[in-house]
Structure 1
Amino acid sequence: MNHHRIPATVRQTYGAGDPATAAGSAGGFSNFGDWHGIDAAPPSPEDRIRSQEQLYRRVLGTLPGPAERLRLAEVGCGLGSGAALALREFRFAAVTGVDIHPDQVERARAVNSRALATFPDRLAYTLGAADELPFPDGSLDGVFSVEAAQQFRGLTGFAHEAARVLKPGGRLAVATFLSAPGAEVAERLSILLAGFADGLDVAHPLDAFTADLAEAGFVDVAAESIGADVWPGLDGYLADTLPPGHWRRNFHAAWTSGLLDYHLVTADRP
């Protein structure tokens, strides 16, 4: 993996410091969380961790079993806590976390050193890009990605690479925030949200992604809107630490304005 292939904003964001220490992150995770059934007001840091773990469980629960036979990869694994959860709770045969940033891979190995020692042949973290996955053709039963695809420069290459590395009958599961269609949407998002303004996040329209998956040969492509379980809970958690109008809280405004939504997208390799 050539270091220069890392987009500048991604290199800076994930190289200069640990993004899991940012406001709204907790427990070695940095996703926005699935807050379904978490009704505490105000939510506690423990609730925040539960929401982030729950999002992984929601994604992993879409992968067909039996789990003990499945070999998986997580694309954009970050600190690797989700890959470790997948192995610990779901008992998959093997899980490899893939990330484009070498600092994140090093952090993942450090954060999950105990799990790596416990499951040396079943858990791993390695360098790789979404459009250049480090796996042979047809070698995986499942590919999943949790809140990383919005930072991939393009989703066409990711769709084709996922199709390449999956066995027939394998499944792709992606949870991320995707934009509404229209050229003006990206501009409006860049006004509301710092990640879109500085280029860390990319406004990928949902319909373009599902079309990419179909073009790559996937079948039974489905997209479930889960924004109602993400944005209100996250905004409630941030309310005590960030003022209204802060860009992190503007995700809720972008959702209610119809500019973006959080989706769980699944697709099968025939």
Structure 2
Amino acid sequence: MTDAVDEDLLRAWPLPEPDGDADKEDRGRVLVLAGSREMPGAAILAATAALRAGAGKLVIATPQSVATVVAAAVPESRVIALPEGSEGAPTLAGLPALQAIAPSLGAVLIGPGMIGPQSTILFVQAVLPLFRHAVVLLDALAMDAVQAMTRFSQPVILTPHAGEMAHLTGAEKEDLQEEPQSCACRRAAAWNAVVALKGATTCIARADGRCWIHRTHAPGLATSGSGDVLAGIIAGLAARGCPPEQAAVWGVALHARAGEALAQRQGTLGYLARELPAQVPALLQALRPRP
């Protein structure tokens, strides 16, 4: 079954809303495990987007060389400084700190801005069991972990664009762009995960074959850091209690609409990824079910 993602679908599939007397704990805690000494901004973008999507509490785990910079940029967060190896990737020495907070997490985002392919794969494989009760979103370099695994046994979302999917599967990028739906469905079934294959036409697929198609014309979204923002939005929605497929569908829709809003005010090209998260709260308000 395939559905087009439009305003009617979103209004008919409302997000979890906290009660009037709810506090930040009721909106969930999200961990953003991201960044490196080369790309600390990826952690900042993703973390900010998670809060803008409505997550109640935020923890950022990032390599110790940039932890102070990240903490200053996102004062709303708790920041865990992770030991890092020579490549700049977190080492397994950081596992105890992550294990201590794992039971309280509703969602975990791993990957934006991380470097060191082999070290990162080993690290992701080691931390996944810690977060078996949370929704885990693997993005960017963290997605390479699928090449060393068979199927996930916990809720996982992956967010590759066509180039990344080609790298993960060995398929040709052009073939994936021509048949994004069939590819997303096949990989979702093979990995037992929700897969959002990103592009002008984004296909979100569930392991059982259910699929959602989102189409947009927002060329300005093809800019540095935009994918980090999308991943953060999805993780923030998952922390609020959305099932993985709903978090992915809504995240893709909100990200696209944020780009469209900026394009209308500032022009088709040239807006920045860091400007996208601030658009999200108003979009969430506008898409609430009508009374």
Whether TM exceeds 0.5 here: the answer is no
**Larger relative contact order (Cα-Cα within 8 Å, sequence gap ≥ 6):** 2
TM-score by length of 1: 0.40
- Whichever structure has more helix as a proportion of its residues is 2
- TM-score for both structures, normalised by structure 2: 0.37
More strand by percentage: 1
